[in-house]
């Protein structure tokens, strides 16, 4: 609550007792109804549409913010809302980027670039998220090896632990793969989504959330989003997809392929 609103309430309702609640909304929606899950699935399709729009738009001469515009148009034309569009680019042969840019710049894309992104689309107030690398022209050997030997297998190890009845710590333990391979990573490995990003919030060395968040239950939404980084801190690949925990396993809410998308 903004402080000015709090002060107005105290002034206008001097006899009222104001009680601050914690986790109130999260407790209500951490396990989603069928109708809510349908909204998450729709948001997942909007994420997929945004990814395809970016691949189609990414060409030499296009600016970073124009890639954002393509993603935004796809989401809004599909009847959705934009939660965030984090997009950045770097040359593959001289990389200096580990994650996207919350405010995509006017940098002009060139052949040989890689685009990293994390997107979140909303539908009727419910969110799904996505991110997967795009290259302008074929990926370099370094990028291909990093994807095939580090990013994708590490991601798959984390997702394998996303099952009903599993403890959130299993996902954290799976993420040790990156350090075991001599890599760094952004702290966050995966997190829950109630309406937007929320607990359980699983990082390399900490898990946020209350006790009831720790065991995965049908109807929970989990975003797997590891972002391994080279040991020198100059290059990374973000990979993320949104999943619904089901009675028997998990359901991904988009159909964007698990491969480096080649554009341009």
Write out the chain's pLDDT in tens, 264 residues.
789 999 999 999 999 998 887 777 888 889 999 999 999 999 999 999 999 999 999 999 999 999 999 999 999 999 999 999 999 999 999 999 999 999 999 999 999 999 999 999 999 999 999 999 999 999 999 999 999 999 999 999 999 999 999 999 999 999 999 999 999 999 999 999 999 999 999 999 999 999 999 999 999 999 999 999 999 999 999 999 999 999 999 999 999 999 999 998
**C-beta atoms surrounding 101 within 10 Å:** 18
Domain range holding 135? Answer: 29-263
* In a domain? residue 180: yes
Q: How far apart are CA 26 and CA 59, in angstroms?
A: 41
Total domains in the fold of the chain: 1
Residue 17 maps to a domain: no
CATH, residue 121: 3.90.230.10
The answer to whether position 240 is within a domain reads yes
Is 8 a member of any domain?
Answer: no
Please check whether residue 62 lies inside any domain of the structure. Answer: yes
Q: Which is it for strands 113-123 and 81-91: parallel, antiparallel or unpaired?
A: antiparallel
The answer to whether position 165 is within a domain reads yes
* Residue where the block lists tokens 């991904």: 252
Q: Is residue 212 one of the residues assigned to a domain?
A: yes
Whether the upstream peptide bond of residue 200 has omega within 30° of 0, thus cis, is yes
Kindly state whether residue 11 falls inside one of the protein's structural domains.
no
Write down the pTM of the prediction.
0.92
């Amino acid at each position: 609550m903004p402080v000015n609103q709090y002060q107005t309430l105290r002034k206008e309702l001097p006899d009222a007792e104001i009680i601050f609640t914690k986790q109130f909304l999260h407790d209500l929606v951490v396990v989603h109804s069928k109708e809510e899950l349908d909204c998450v699935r729709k948001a997942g399709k909007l994420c997929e549409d945004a990814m395809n729009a970016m691949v189609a738009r990414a060409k030499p001469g296009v600016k970073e913010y124009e890639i954002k515009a393509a993603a935004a148009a796809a989401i809004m034309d599909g009847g959705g809302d934009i939660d965030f569009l984090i997009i950045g680019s770097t040359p593959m042969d001289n990389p200096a980027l580990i994650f996207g840019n919350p405010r995509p710049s006017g940098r002009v894309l060139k052949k040989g670039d890689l685009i990293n992104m994390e997107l979140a689309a909303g539908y009727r107030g419910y969110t799904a998220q996505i991110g997967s690398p795009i290259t302008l022209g074929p990926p370099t050997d370094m990028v291909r090896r990093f994807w095939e030997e580090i990013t994708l297998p590490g991601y798959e190890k984390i997702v394998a632990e996303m099952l009903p009845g599993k403890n959130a710590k299993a996902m954290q333990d799976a993420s040790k793969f990156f350090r075991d391979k001599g890599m760094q990573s952004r702290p966050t490995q995966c997190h829950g989504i109630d309406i937007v990003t929320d607990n359980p919030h699983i990082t390399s060395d900490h898990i946020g959330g209350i006790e009831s968040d720790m065991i995965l239950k049908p109807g929970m939404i989990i975003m797997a989003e590891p972002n391994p980084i080279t040991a020198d801190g100059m290059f990374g690949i973000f990979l993320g997809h949104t999943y619904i925990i089901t009675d028997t396993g998990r359901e991904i809410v988009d159909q964007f392929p698990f491969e480096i998308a080649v554009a341009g």
